[in-house]
Amino acid sequence: MRCDVDFHRFVYEESGNPLLGETAEPHWVYLRRVMAEVLRRAAPGPEIWLQHEEILAAIVRGDENGAAALALSHVEGAADRLSAALAAGDGSATRN
């Protein structure tokens, strides 16, 4: 979980846009909860870390559009997997 949060914060910091981190900060209490549930319930396996690697590689290459597309796919995929996992389970992740 800590590595996941660290990666996302690193991307915000390296973007050169201080507003990204500032606007995300109030949401981190909720984002951490969702990220933990994705890791726990949606069983992304090594795929999630490979996605981080691809996003970072695109950033390093200076491929802004590629990085944005990969980041969007990363977030949407996690949301889809979590939604499916919650629909298949008892929904306890939403009651804490």
CB count within 10 Å of CB 44 equals: 17
pLDDT tens across 47-75, in order?
A: 888 999 999 999 999 999 999 999 999 88
Q: Is the pLDDT of residue 32 over 90?
A: no
> How far is the CA of 85 from the CAs of 1, 7, 39, 80, 94, in angstroms?
18, 24, 11, 9, 12
Contact 78, 43 (CB under 8 A): no
Q: Which of 66 and 5 is assigned the larger pLDDT?
A: 66
63 in the Ramachandran plot: left (φ > 0), alpha (ψ -120 to 50) or beta? beta
Q: Is the pLDDT of residue 30 over 90?
A: no
| E strand residue ranges, the chain | none
Q: What is the DSSP letter of 92?
A: G
Which pTM does this prediction carry? 0.75
CB count within 10 Å of CB 66 equals: 15
What's the confidence (pLDDT) of residue 56? 94
